[in-house]
Amino acid sequence: MADTVTLSTKKRYAIVGTGGRAIFFYTAIARDYAKTSCIVGICDTNRTRMNYANSKLESLGHGAVPTFIAADFEKMITETKPDEVIVTTIDRTHNLYIVKALELGCNVITEKPMTIDAPRCLEIFDAVSRTGKQVRVTFNYRYAPHNTAVYSLLRSGAIGAVTSVHFEWMLNTSHGADYFRRWHRDKRNSGGLLVHKSTHHFDLVNFWLRTRPATVYAQGDLKFYGRENAERRGVTQFYARARGGGPAAAADPFALHLDRHDQLKAMYLDAEHEDAYYRDQSVFGDGVSIEDTMNLLVRYKNGAVMTYSLTAYAPWEGFRVSFNGTGGRLELEVVENSYVNSGGDQAAEGSIERRTLLLRPLFEKPREIEIPVGVGAHGGGDTVLLNDLFGEPVTDEYMRAASHIDGALSILTGIAANKSIATGQVVNVDDVLRIP
């Protein structure tokens, strides 16, 4: 066990949920912030994954920490006395651990999305109000140098007042497909991609424009993944999961073979006997209840309008966003390298292949804006975020730290979009949840 005398001088963190995203936090603390921070406990539904997390901590010189099964979350807080709890469980349970941690006197750092629907949001807001503790949502995309550059240009008035935004995000057949292999494929777990994934994108627009969504109209469907779509394309051989899937899995470029990836094998294949969670489900199987093709029209409270699309089966990974303003136009294109969550080097997740930021002022020649080179995953955003979370406190001129209010505003666009898809109507966001 870690030295308690040494730990008493450090900021203490407990982690609940030890899947792929948890590695991002606990390896950073053990490797880069060991002088000021430490892990004092980990909690999960699966002991094999917790043992793997401890093996990673030991390999980084941190030392193993006590482990607690999910039902003993409160016991972990009582016994290990963390200052903050890091929540990286499946999305539908975020609110449970956030609220309980706040009630037990801890601040919270939570992965996005903060939660998946309005009632769960209200639970978190109520707990923050009752306890006076804080919740931070880890929007790493805010910290990527290219997104910070967009913020600075818009704030400087480079294109005048922003009137409209066109935002197109492509998830490719590696990363995009991965959401259809995992627990995300069940909308009850994730809220669908408009909540789980698009929360990043909707938060960026809120952050860039310093405004809030007012109304949302959306259309969405499952057009590529799922068994029915595969059957329409003439597929006749199916399997439930890659392991034991036989010739059909062997011939499927979408199949994920866990035994070919050391980390995926250790975290999931070797752990599935405990909870029957299968990380390698067929993307063309039954049981997919989320959309893979989504389009939105959003009006913001400052009067700007956004058209947005998300495609989860594109041939390339990345995004294009264009801003039209009273003084010109700003265009950003970012091509990201492909990856599978936890399937390789964490620093490679969302790494940049190419990016271009073009400013087109009215009556002037367009000019390309130089963007600082970021180091690390998600265009360098992960590195800057981690330093903001665990490094020495500094004043951030870009105001990138996201509160529970930011977390709620980011998912409200997706929650309203889900309601619009179901009803075919324009949804007033304040009717879903009114935020002060």
Q: What fold is seen in the domain 141-225+288-432? A: Dihydrodipicolinate Reductase; domain 2 (3.30.360)
Distance CA 203, CA 163 (A): 18
Q: What is the DSSP letter of 241?
A: B
pLDDT digits (tens, 9 = 90+) for 61-120: 999 999 999 999 999 999 999 999 999 999 999 999 999 999 999 999 999 999 999 999
To 5 degrees, how large is the angle CA 276–CA 85–CA 290? Answer: 45
Distance CA 179, CA 193 (A): 8
pLDDT digits (tens, 9 = 90+) for 252-277: 999 999 999 999 999 999 999 999 99
pLDDT digits (tens, 9 = 90+) for 178-235: 999 999 999 999 999 999 999 999 999 999 999 999 999 999 999 999 999 999 999 9
Start-to-end C-alpha separation, the chain: 45
Residue ranges, CATH 3.30.360.10, the chain: 141-225+288-432
To 5 degrees, how large is the angle CA 414–CA 215–CA 169? Answer: 45
pTM: 0.95
- What is 50-92 written as a DSSP string? HHHHHHHHHHTTS----EEEGGGHHHHHHHH--SEEEE-S-GG
- Asked: is 4-111 a CATH 3.40.50.720 domain? The reply is yes
Distance CA 147, CA 180 (A): 28
pLDDT confidence tier of residue 3, bands split at 50, 70 and 90:
very low
Share the mean pLDDT of the chain: 95
Residue ranges, CATH 3.40.50.720, the chain: 4-111
pLDDT digits (tens, 9 = 90+) for 369-394: 999 887 777 788 999 999 999 998 88
